[in-house]
């Protein structure tokens, strides 16, 4: 017996696929010329001939309409401009990162002030801040003290910057953490 296994295909983003020239299945199309003027409905073969006479291609823009909308255009130039626009959009978007600040039960005032300044700069950059406090050994008995230190730290930050608490103080194993973000 033979078994065939198919590998799972990984798809990134589904790209818009345009039907061009002979790949347009509709008998009639609503035709738009290269300048954007509506020319009315025309037979698909006639529209392809018109596009080729101008040295361009007939591209189906809106296939769901009846009859579908097709435009006479330079498809290579159109595709190039679309890719350029996608790159611009990708460059404009900023990924929000989660930056980490670690505290301890025995943290000094100066260290606390230093960490507060770090957290404020992270928040000014638009990033979220994960405040963590690791409890070791017998420190695990003093969860209430650790939660108090984190809450005091959050209150210190609130004095300098408007923030919202995305995740309140929560215990996970031997660590307490909270996540804050800029408003």
In percent, how much of the chain has pLDDT > 90?
38
Residue 47 has pLDDT above 50, yes or no: yes
Q: What is the CATH number of the domain that holds 49?
A: 3.10.20.80
Identify whether residues 68 and 130 lie together within a single domain. no
Residue 83 domain-assigned? no
Identify whether residues 50 and 117 lie together within a single domain. no
pLDDT tier for residue 111 given thresholds of 50, 70 and 90: very high
pLDDT in tens, 153-172: 999 999 888 889 999 999 98
Task: Give DSSP secondary structure letters for the chain.
Answer: -----PPPPP--SPPP--EEGGG---SEEEEE-TTS-EEEEEEHHHHHHHHHHTT-EEEEEETTSSSPEEEEE-HHHHHHHHHHHHHHHHHH--PPPEEEEEE-TT--HHHHHHHHHHHHHHHHTT-EEEEEEE--GGGGG-HHHHHHHHHHHHHHHHHHS-EEEEEEEEEETTEEEEEEEE-
pLDDT in tens, 29-45: 999 988 888 888 989 89
Residue 148 domain-assigned? yes
Domain total in the chain: 2
Query: Containing domain of residue 121, as a range?
Result: 98-182
Contact 102/153 with Cβ under 8 angstroms? no
């Amino acid at each position: 017996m033979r078994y065939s296994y198919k590998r799972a295909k990984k798809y990134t983003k589904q790209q818009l696929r345009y039907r061009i020239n002979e790949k347009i299945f509709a008998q009639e199309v609503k035709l738009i010329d290269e300048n954007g003027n509506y020319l009315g409905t025309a037979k698909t073969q006639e529209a392809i001939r018109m596009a080729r006479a101008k040295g361009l291609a007939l591209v189906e823009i809106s296939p769901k309409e009846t009859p579908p909308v097709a435009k006479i255009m330079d498809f290579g130039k159109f595709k190039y401009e679309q890719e350029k626009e996608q790159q611009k959009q990708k460059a404009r978007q900023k990924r929000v990162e989660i930056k980490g600040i670690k505290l301890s039960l025995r943290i000094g005032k100066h260290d606390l002030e230093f960490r507060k300044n770090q957290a404020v700069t992270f928040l000014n950059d638009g990033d979220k801040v994960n405040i963590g406090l690791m409890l070791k050994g017998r420190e695990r008995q003093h969860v209430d003290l650790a939660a108090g230190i984190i809450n005091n730290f959050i209150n210190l930050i609130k004095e300098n910057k408007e923030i919202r608490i995305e995740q309140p103080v929560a215990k996970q194993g031997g660590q307490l953490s909270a996540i804050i973000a800029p408003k």
